[in-house]
Amino acid sequence: MSSEIFAYTKRQLLSFGCCLVGILLPLHYSAFAASPATERSERMRLSPKSLLQDIAVLEYEIVVVGERGHILKSKDEGTSWRQIIAPTRASLTSVFFVDNRHGWATGHSGVILMSSDSGDSWTLVSDPDPEISYFDILFVDEQNGYFVGAYGEIAKTTDGAKSLEKLRMGEEELHFYAIEQSPNGNLFLAGERGQIFKWSNQDREWSKLHSPYEGSLFGLICLDDENLLTFGLRGHLFRSANAGNSWEKIELHTEAIITAGIRLSSGNLLIASVTDQIFMSSDEGHTFYKIEQPGIDGTVGIAETASTHTVLFCGRHGVLSVATNLLEASLMKAESANE
């Protein structure tokens, strides 16, 4: 996918089922004209059913973000939602809470929002820039974190996003879609043209890893210090057992774009495509089974509540809640059928 024909964010385009790179539009200022970065979001009755692009689970609440600066909160596992007015109308692509109070949201126009009250209010802490789009966030504590996005954009902060230090990985300005941390503190970046980078917490430096794929990779799941998964276009899923030094292709038998994945509280793995397909694994990602779950479509974010063990799928139709035990019962049925 050429960096000259990328539009919006991978989550927003994928949620509309855009699978062909030839239909991607140039990233330029007009893409943001309808959602000014510095104007307050509008209260909209149907916002819970709009395109919602990422989700964070707190101890007793859920926070989701999406198009037009929409930020929504729920205290009842997504049954009802309360819209939070944000200081932006830019589309928000990612939200991350490092604890139950401190969180950040980001997206188009280089917008970075910060909350210190569990997402009840948000402050714009960045200087909006129409040339920047961020796609993912990772914080390791209240002060130290990263924002990654289009055209090789990587911003590091050591003061909770009050200031940013720009980093550069290589000469090509390729998009970064995901950043994750392993338990031992190593960081992994995945993005366009299969690029994968690793920050070694021991060596204190970044290095480019050999990639198993030339297409875009949209997500990562760190299983432990050594084992991780990455996934992306055309149903491609890869597993590494040595911190990304080598990769094994895991067959999903689908051409669908894989957009999101998590490890559930049970230890089972769940990944979802931009279509209605979801897959689960009970063996640390060596084998995945397709799971039938009506109503899931256009998933771009997944989370699980710890209190009620409910899986939340967010995407182009808002948020769908499914009991974890129902999904795991379907996994057991699929495994039995393949014995």
pLDDT of residue 204: 85
Neighbouring residues of 199: CB distance < 8 A, sequence distance ≥ 6: 186, 187, 188, 205, 206
CA distances from 222 to 86, 228, 251 (A): 31, 4, 19
Helices assigned H by DSSP within the chain: 10-15, 324-337
- pLDDT of residue 85 exceeding 80: yes
* Dist CA 237 CA 312 (whole Å): 22
Strand order in the sheet with 187-191: 176-181, 187-191, 196-200, 205-208
Residue 289 lies in a domain: yes
Query: What does R_g of the chain's alpha carbons equal in angstroms?
Result: 18
pLDDT of residue 75: 92
303 contacts 62 by C-beta, under 8 angstroms? yes
Q: Which two tokens stand for residue 313?
A: 């799928």
Residue 225 lies in a domain: yes
Residue 3 lies in a domain: no
Residue pLDDT, tens place only, 134-149:
999 999 999 999 999 9
- pLDDT mean over 39-56: 90
pLDDT of residue 270: 98
Average pLDDT over the chain, rounded to an integer: 88
Banded pLDDT at 272 (limits 50, 70, 90) = very high
* Dist CA 224 CA 238 (whole Å): 15
| Nearest by Cα to 243 from 222, 260, 261, 268 | 222
The range of the structural domain enclosing residue 91 comes to 10-337
- pLDDT of residue 35 exceeding 90: no
Longest CA–CA span in the chain (Å) reads 57
* Dist CA 53 CA 39 (whole Å): 20
Residue pLDDT, tens place only, 144-169:
999 999 999 999 999 999 999 999 88
CATH value at residue 185:
2.130.10.10
* Dist CA 163 CA 55 (whole Å): 25
- pLDDT mean over 19-28: 31
Half-sphere exposure of 131 (CA within 13 A, CB side): 4
Residue 177 lies in a domain: yes
Q: 3-state DSSP call for residue 188?
A: strand
Return the percent helix, strand and coil in the chain, to nearest 5: 10, 40, 50
- pLDDT of residue 73 exceeding 60: yes
> What domain count does the chain have?
1
- pLDDT of residue 28 exceeding 50: no
Please provide residue 191's backbone torsions phi and psi, each rounded to the nearest 5 degrees.
Answer: -170, -150
* Dist CA 141 CA 20 (whole Å): 38
pLDDT of residue 203: 79
- pLDDT of residue 6 exceeding 70: no
For the chain, the distance separating the N- and C-terminal CA atoms, rounded to the nearest angstrom, is: 39
Neighbouring residues of 45: CB distance < 8 A, sequence distance ≥ 6: none
Question: Residue with structure tokens 């989700």?
Answer: 55
- pLDDT of residue 12 exceeding 90: no
- pLDDT mean over 79-86: 94
Residue 189 lies in a domain: yes
